[in-house]
Amino acid sequence: MGSYVSIAECQAKYNVVLNCTVDGRHITVNGEDAVEAPFTRIGNYTRGHFPGDPDVAGIGILAVFIAVTSFAIAAGLVSFFWQLAKTWGWKTTYTEQQKTERHNQTSISDILETLILACSDQQVFTGAAYALTLRFGKGCSISAYHYNIVANMMLLTCATHLISVTIVRNYWKFPWLALLRIGSITFVFIATGLLMTNQNANSNEPFPTGIPDANLTDSSIFLPAVCFQTEGHTTFNTFKETTSSANAFFMDNLAQSTPRNKIQGWNLYIITLLFYGAAIIAEFIRFFRRGRSRKGLRGRIANEFRRYCGLGTPMRKILQNVFLFYLAFGVGLSLAVIIISTQYIFSLRRWVDRSGWIELDNNDENPENDATSFGQLVPLFSSALIVFSFAQIISGAYTLSSHSVPLIN
């Protein structure tokens, strides 16, 4: 997933020779030669000849990632307020008998949760494809600029998956499918962590993750990302630095995203990862709580839960409010991720577009502003699966309604 890639490895294993130098005005700093802006060449590229990559930073692929995540969060917000209305008595809460009678009816919560799951499933495959491509296809060639874009796009997928695990009540309705989803989502979280920790390598030059000042037009961000990476175990070292002390964890990492080097979104990733772990534990609790019709341990636990936390009991009210706080935190965290990551991605794209380094197409346009490249069309059309999921549940609800027979007293 981009882990432990280095200049030496690219040359030895893939026969890729990298140019990690910049040419510009030479000056002497502390007796040593240094180069300062304006640059005449960055790596292999002169101004106006840095190749864009629409399949990574194209407006189409970014629109898909952001739209799918935004839609999932919007559905999560509606689901949260729906749960809030039921908990605080603004909406009637059905008894167990009423729930049984309405078993075949499709509720608003069912529709919202189906859409959220569809968003998560769509981004599992897209996110995994990006992670694998970056590790085995473009690990030695992707620029630091595009690497930053991919890392923050992966963070967006984590936000989508967090919403699905947090909001969906019947995640364990089909246990094997739930395990497959959790396994895939965990893979995406691990891949995202590897991508980010690689930006904290012990290289001579720190990985350029910040957005250059608006008045500048030159940056080492156009160099290959591998120029700032090493063969060292950056993942282990970064997590060790992150958790070395309370001050390092809260002040350096959560407050500033700097285990050593600045990693854009690292604080959000750490909080999201911790909450994802809590959400998995909550899902296992849900799994046992909803098993009253099952035999064995699961059924016994569910029946004991209903004995002490049944509808109308004080403990039930307390747990419902704790659950509301849990939902609010999950939705709020995902919302923060999409706002901050989206702002970063588009601010970085805007600076690159204005820098004059990117190579224009035949129409004198930035190719990353064109949404019609093949690599962008695939995820664009795959997002239509969300629409099909919505159509399927509505069709199923209509079919059940049309075939229902009223009870005769």
Domain that holds residue 126: 7-403
Q: Is 54 part of any domain?
A: yes
* Average pLDDT over every residue of 57-64: 92
* Average pLDDT over every residue of 135-157: 91
Q: Comparing 57-61, 169-173, 211-215, which segment has the lowest mean pLDDT?
A: 169-173
Q: Is 258 part of any domain?
A: yes
pLDDT band at residue 390 using 50, 70 and 90 as cut-offs: confident
Say yes or no to pLDDT of 409 above 90.
no
pLDDT tens track for 23-45: 988 787 777 777 888 899 999 99
* Average pLDDT over every residue of 292-311: 69
DSSP 368: G
Q: Between residues 230 and 20, which one has the greater pLDDT?
A: 20
The pLDDT of residue 2: 44
Q: Is 1 part of any domain?
A: no
DSSP 156: H
The pLDDT of residue 112: 85
Phi, psi (rounded to 5 degrees) for 351: -65, -45
Q: Is 408 part of any domain?
A: no
Q: Cα(141)–Cα(234) distance, rounded to whole angstroms?
A: 20
DSSP characters for 217-269?
---GGGSBGGGG--SS-HHHHHHHHHTS-HHIIIIIIITT--SSS--TTHHHH
Q: Between residues 231 and 370, which one has the greater pLDDT?
A: 370
Phi, psi (rounded to 5 degrees) for 34: -140, 160
> Is the previous residue joined to 38 through a cis bond, with omega within 30 degrees of 0?
yes
The pLDDT of residue 398: 60
Which of 8-17, 154-163, 380-389 ranks highest by mean pLDDT? 154-163
Question: How many structural domains does the chain have?
Answer: 1
Say yes or no to pLDDT of 73 above 90.
yes
Say yes or no to pLDDT of 284 above 90.
no
Q: Cα(281)–Cα(91) distance, rounded to whole angstroms?
A: 28
Q: Is 218 part of any domain?
A: yes
Alpha carbons within 13 angstroms on the beta-carbon side of residue 3 total 14
DSSP characters for 379-404?
HHHHTTHHHHHHHHHHHHHHHHHHH-
What the block records as the tokens of 100 is 């049984």
Between the alpha carbon of residue 240 and those of residues 189, 205, 207, 259, the distances in Å are 18, 21, 19, 9
End-to-end alpha carbon distance in the chain: 64
Contact 32, 209 (CB under 8 A): no
In this structure, the number of other CB atoms found within 10 A of the CB of residue 358 comes to 23
pLDDT band at residue 378 using 50, 70 and 90 as cut-offs: confident
What the block records as the tokens of 393 is 């549940």
DSSP characters for 61-97?
HHHHHHHHHHHHHHHHHHHHHHHHHHHTTSSPPPPHH
Q: Is 78 part of any domain?
A: yes
Q: Between residues 10 and 307, which one has the greater pLDDT?
A: 10
Pairing mode, if any, of strands 22-29 and 45-46? unpaired
Torsion, Cα of 152, 156, 159, 161 (10° steps): -120
Angle value at C-alpha 18, between 12 and 19, nearest 5 degrees: 150
Q: Is 2 part of any domain?
A: no
Q: Is 215 part of any domain?
A: yes
Q: Which amino acid is at 325?
A: F
Residue with tokens 């049309």, as numbered in its chain = 402
